[in-house]
Amino acid sequence: MYLNLNPIAFSVGPIQVRWYGIFMALSILLGMIYFFREGKKRGVDEDDLYNIVLLVVIFGVIGARLMFVLANYPGWFINDPIQVLKIYEGGLAWHGGLLGGFLAGWWYTRRKNLNLFMLADLVVPGLSIGNILVRIGNIFNGEVLGRMTAFSFGRWPAQLVGSAIGLILLIRYFYVQEKDPPNGYQFWSFLFYYQLLRGIFEETVRENPLFIVKYINETWGFGFLTLTQWVTVPLLILFYYFMVRCKKGYYD
């Protein structure tokens, strides 16, 4: 989907506020509200909740940006380092954000003797909402484009495919939550199904570079294999391993 929309929502003097940033900020806010509410119910100190959110957001964004630049424009680090800082223009890698945020949360919960996986479960709604809204922000930025097809609709709406995955996983979270799952299960199962759905659906129709095995069906607009699709199988094995451990109560 490429609509040639204005990525700038409004300006305050020389400062331009982009739709991408608005959607990202909104997803963080909604995720924080849920995290604080449920964390308090579980007896976690409010200061600890604030500190965790602050660290996870900061290092999540840093990790997401660094991973994106490293995978797509590594030359920026040397030739145009200022461009690396322009997060508001879009360009965040989901796996980098996950890794950065997770490591920050692991460090803090270990230091404070808190249950990492109990708290990790509470970030799933925020991650799902972020996937829904940030993909809409990608439409305004004219990025994360789908491949062209021979059909009347032309280009696959890859951004909306990504948003749909987030919506499905958000609904699933609250369905599973009614069954009182063990600590960590929501987090690791979210990662498992997200990676599975993204690898099968979003990456297949998204206009990403192909690696090693390169096949494109120009009629259907399908492409194999992207870097994300290559890492899907080992990641699924890793996430499933932790899902099994959660079911056995290792993190309760």
CB 150 within 8 Å of CB 218: yes
Burial (0-12, 13-18, 19+ Cβ within 10 Å), 113 = exposed
**Alpha-helical regions (H) of the chain:** 19-41, 46-72, 76-79, 81-84, 94-112, 116-121, 124-141, 158-177, 185-197, 203-205, 227-247
DSSP H or E segment with residue 12: strand 8-12
Q: pLDDT tens, position by position, for the chain (252 residues)? A: 678 889 999 998 888 889 988 998 999 999 999 999 999 999 999 999 999 999 999 999 899 888 888 877 888 878 878 888 877 666 778 888 889 999 999 999 999 999 999 999 999 999 999 999 999 999 998 989 999 999 999 999 999 999 999 999 999 999 999 999 999 999 999 999 999 999 999 999 999 889 999 999 999 999 999 989 999 999 999 999 999 999 998 888
Best CA proximity match to 202, nearest among 136, 151, 155, 156: 156
Give the residue numbers of the binding site: 135
- Residue 73 confidence (pLDDT): 80
pLDDT digits (tens, 9 = 90+) for 68-111: 888 778 888 788 788 888 776 667 788 888 899 999 999 999 99
Q: Is the dihedral of CA 41, 44, 46, 49 positive or negative?
A: negative
pLDDT digits (tens, 9 = 90+) for 233-250: 999 999 999 999 999 988
